Copies of this chain bind each other. A is one copy, B any other.
Amino acid sequence: MRLSEFFTKTRREAPRDETAKNAILLSRAGFIYKEMAGVYALLPLGLRVIRKIEGIIREEMECAGASEVLLTTLQSPALWERTGRWSDETVDNWFKTSLKDGSPLGLAHTHEEPLTALLAHYVSSYRDLPRLVFQFQTKFRNELRAKSGILRGREFVMKDCYSFARNEAEHAELYQRMKQAYTRIFERVGIGEHTYCTRASGGSFSRASEEFQTLTDAGEDIIYIDPATRTAINAEVIDEAVLAELKLSRERFIEKKAIEVGNIFPLGTKFSEPLELNFTDEHGEKRLVVMGSYGIGLGRLMGTVAEVLSDEHGLLWPRSIAPFDVHLVKIRNPKFEIRNTPQIINHVAAEADRLYDTLSEQGVSVLYDDREAVSAGEQFADADLIGLPFRLVVSEKTMAVGRYEVRERASGEVDFIEAEALVNRLMVP
């Protein structure tokens, strides 16, 4: 994509009303646009990151055997009254609205109720189970405060998955499959080493749940980690009983701030009972389905990567979720300023154009800074801010030596590479 055709621009200054690093960097670099607190539009660069994250999650969900659906935002009270979650006193983050005839509606903040009811429509026999169902759906949560950029939104896309099993043993198998899928997702997205699977509270649903927590000072949660065993426990559940169960002493654990990037949750029969999701087993007996739920917020994940992997110059995307692979910069080399005749400029432009086409044909996605009247300094600052894995420079200087300048954003290492070796260097390893 040519930068000259982008409608967005980078900004030198942080937006006045943002304090969170993720929102400052992503706004300045042109990935997101704030509609109101906790409500962000995705610009072309941001949408490309979200689509890549979505692609990785979808692969892992399908690989685990889950089927994709898309449930609705608008919800009528009936189902939620049966589980006791319609009232604003039990659930304090509903957005509510109403139909023309005055009947109340809610905007879904989660989808246990409608999906359980949907499954009840189709599941009747033990032959219809087990099942895993997932979706990418926008959730609406009426948060009192929303100051963490895209880490805690009032409107955000979430991957939520739900498991439906015949008994606890089968549930445990599905739960482990999801846990492994989650571990792979965070590894593939590039924050595997910063992310711990923590023991967390089960809330009103179960004895315990697990969270995937990524270490960062921007996190709202406190967790205790033992780096040696990679064991982690949320602050609210660390106690003697849990430590005894894990056979680890309190001293091993270090306190860290972290952000919850995913959670996996045994639901038992909390929803199948009131919503009558049951099946007839092999012996003709009616039994309740045992459920679990598994969530990842896509925007929060992008924001977490922005917090964890950025530096003072800007963002720093892992290859797997970078909006483009390469930032191709065509520059008028300042050292040769005096010699920048139209011929030389055209020469450099033609070479950069050619390179853009060649790389694109080879499947390397390129953001091409083909802008005129912008200084090399500005171009480099933009490349650092946007944070693609590689910066590739074409200038009179690089053309004079017959090599291309390739700089790795993460390490800062610069190589001068011959034409023949270039595509190999930039292709996915």
Which residues of A line the B interface, CB within 8 A? 5-9, 33, 35-36, 39-44, 47, 50, 65, 67-76, 95-100, 105, 107, 114, 118-119, 121-123, 128, 131, 133, 138, 140, 142-144, 154-155, 164
Contacts and interface: CB of A to CB of B under 8 A. Distances in A.
Given A35-B75, A133-B7, A42 B65 contact: no
A127 to B, nearest CB: 8
B39 A154 contact: no
Contacts of A143: 100
A160 to B, nearest CB: 13
Contacts of A50: 70
Contact of A8 (B39, B40, B95, B122): B122
Contacts of A105: 95
A374 B76 CA distance: 36
B71 A35 contact: yes
Contact of A118 (B33, B100, B140): B33
7 contacts: A7-B164, A35-B75, A36-B76, A39-B74, A42-B69, A73-B73, A138-B138
A65 B5 contact: yes
A142 B99 contact: yes
Contacts of A155: 72-74
B72 A131 contact: no
Given A138-B138, A144-B100, A154 B74 contact: yes
Given A36-B76, A47-B69, A69-B44, A107 B97 contact: yes
A143 B99 CA distance: 8
A97 B95 contact: yes
B7 A122 contact: yes
A235 B228 CA distance: 75
Given A6-B67, A7-B128, A133-B7, A41 B74 contact: no
A70 to B, nearest CB: 4
Given A7-B133, A122-B8, A41 B97 contact: no
A100 B100 CA distance: 23
Contacts of A100: 142-144
Contacts of A154: 74, 99
B72 A123 contact: no
A162 to B, nearest CB: 11
Contact of A44 (B67, B107, B128, B164): B67
Contacts of A98: 95
By Cβ-Cβ distance, the 3 closest A-B pairs, closest first, are A42-B70, A95-B97, A97-B97
A31 to B, nearest CB: 11
Which of A7, A71, A73, A118 has its CB near the most chain B CB atoms (within 10 A)? A7
